[in-house]
Structure 1
Amino acid sequence: MKLIPSRWALAAFLLHSISKTTGSALTTVIGANERLCFYADVDKAGEKIGVQSGGDFDINFDVKDPRDKIILDGRGERQGDYVLTANYVGEYAFCLENDMSTLTGKLIDIDITVESEPRRDPPAKPGQLADQTSALEESIYRLNGMLSSIRRNQRSAHTRERRGYFVVESTQSRIFWYSVLETAMIIGMAM
């Protein structure tokens, strides 16, 4: 029996071997007036760092490079998608702060990704591009970009859905207690 690898398996293998990605998706609760930091280690300069975050309503955050310099700062953000290029090797700090809330914690989704995509150097002449990059490689790069976009959109939709669910739950609770109060007042007036 002759074993022939499928085109899909070959494409999956090439996609996996083209880009090296490490990441961590995390859902956590940040208490009132709490500051929580996450760290990502960058092995070499020029790597891409992506942060997709969202939470219940608003959060403050900052991103610091290995020299402890703030490279990204956000105040009162509800949702975001940020891609940074790591200019220095070392540990990058992603800190979230819930100092606007004095009583309640917030549920936060954060996804920190460090990517390294080895690409060939562009050719000196435009005609040489076909020699260096095959159509399959270009398709794989495009698919990788589209899949990343779909993943970010799903995460964003999930965050919006959870926020909407919270609003509906809160409204239902208010309606219930208003109807209990209204019923008690009607019974009180009838007596």
Structure 2
Amino acid sequence: MPSTAPRSAASPFRLLLCTLLLALFATLIPSAEASALTTTIAANERTCFFALVDKSGEKVGFYFAVQSGGSFDIDWTVTDPSDTIVIEGERERQGDYIFTAHLIGEYSFCFSNDMSSFSEKLVDFDIMVESEPRPVAPAKPTALTEQTSSLEESIYKLSGSLSSIQRTQKYFRTRENRNVSTVKSTQWRIFAFSISESLLMCGMSAFQVWVVQRFFSGPSRRRQV
């Protein structure tokens, strides 16, 4: 009967390796709270959203893009719990910002459409609050140091690639929505211009017929000799 001692000796090693890899992967996942929203802001309206920061030094990410309405621009302001403006912008189409929250409390993210008198704006935005300390790998045997280090670097590369893909998707989504809005606006303008042109031609034709009728239906004038 063949001996099974080597296989049984390798099983605890594999189990330990899997446990360490799972623990390392768990430490690499940052604790984050995010919200992806879409809101409509009417003309002369100001809308605010709030995010809670429960620890000083946390990173706050703020992304927005105007999808439709007017010139695709909006005024925005980010204030901290003491009502101090952290960052702000005027008539911007989109933005992607990351800042460090030094105060604990609610941060407000406000959009203002005061510059528009009749056009409403459709805004897509993300607010993310995350705490991302440098992960520390648990105690591990020296033989696994090289494997866990390569795994850590691979996870960081995958995380960066995923963030790049998400940004690209957001960019193309914004471009698509803006192009659709521009096409719809152009179609409506062409339709309105065609109707106006048709009404103008009908009016001019009726006016010409009326002038000809008035010219021939008037009383005949006789020359006096």
Residues 58-104 of structure 1: CA deviation (Å, up to 9, x unaligned): 11111111222111010111011111111222211111111101222
Residues in 1 aligned to 2:181 and 2:27: alpha-carbon distance in whole angstroms: 38
The answer to whether structure 1 residue 85 and structure 2 residue 100 are counterparts is yes
Instruction: Quote the residue 1:171 is aligned against.
Output: 186
- Tell me, in whole angstroms, the C-alpha distance in 2 between the residues paired with 1:19 and 1:169: 42
- Per the TM alignment, residue 33 of structure 1 is displaced from its structure 2 partner at its CA by 1.2
Partner of 2:213: none
Matched residue, 1:126: none
How far did residue 138 of structure 1 move? 1.8
Identity of aligned residues (%): 51
Structure 1 counterpart of 2:131, from 99, 116, 141: 116
**Structure with max Cα Rg:** 2
State the AA in 2 paired with 1:46: G
Q: 1:47 aligns with which of 58, 61, 67?
A: 58
Query: Is residue 173 of structure 2 the alignment partner of residue 158 of structure 1?
Result: yes
Superposition pairs for residues 93-108 of structure 1, below 5 Å?
93-108=108-123
Contact 1:54 1:78 in 2 (8 A): yes
Find the residue that maps to 2:37 and give its secondary structure: strand
Number of residues paired by the alignment? Answer: 176
Q: In structure 1, how many angstroms separate the alpha carbons of the residues matched to 2:36 and 2:25?
A: 24
- 8 A contact 2:50–2:106 mirrored in 1: yes
Pick the aligned partner of 2:31 from 20, 29, 33. Answer: 20
Whichever residue aligns with residue 61 of structure 1, its letter is: W
Q: Distance in 2 between matches of 1:110 and 1:150?
A: 17
Partner amino acid for 1:88? L
TM-score (norm 2): 0.69
Task: Give the C-alpha shift of residue 151 in structure 1.
Answer: 1.2
RMSD: 2.8
TM-score normalised according to structure 1 size: 0.80
Q: Which runs of 5+ in 1 are unaligned?
A: 122-129
Aligned partners of 1:37 and 1:96 also within 8 Å: yes
Secondary structure of 2:117's partner?
A: coil
Report the alpha carbon displacement of residue 181 of structure 1 after superposing the two structures with TM. Answer: 3.1
Q: What amino acid sits opposite 2:56 in the alignment?
A: A
Instruction: Write the distance in 2 (CA, Å) between the matches of 1:173 and 1:145.
Output: 42
**Structure number having the greater helix percentage:** 2
Whether 2:70 is the aligned partner of 1:59: answer: no
Per-residue Cα deviation, 1:135-155 (whole angstroms, up to 9, x for no partner): 211221222122122212211
Indicate if the aligned counterparts of 1:15 and 1:144 stay in contact, CA closer than 8 A.
Answer: no
Unmatched segments (≥5 aa) in structure 2: 1-13, 137-144, 207-225
Further displaced range: 85-94 or 173-182: 173-182
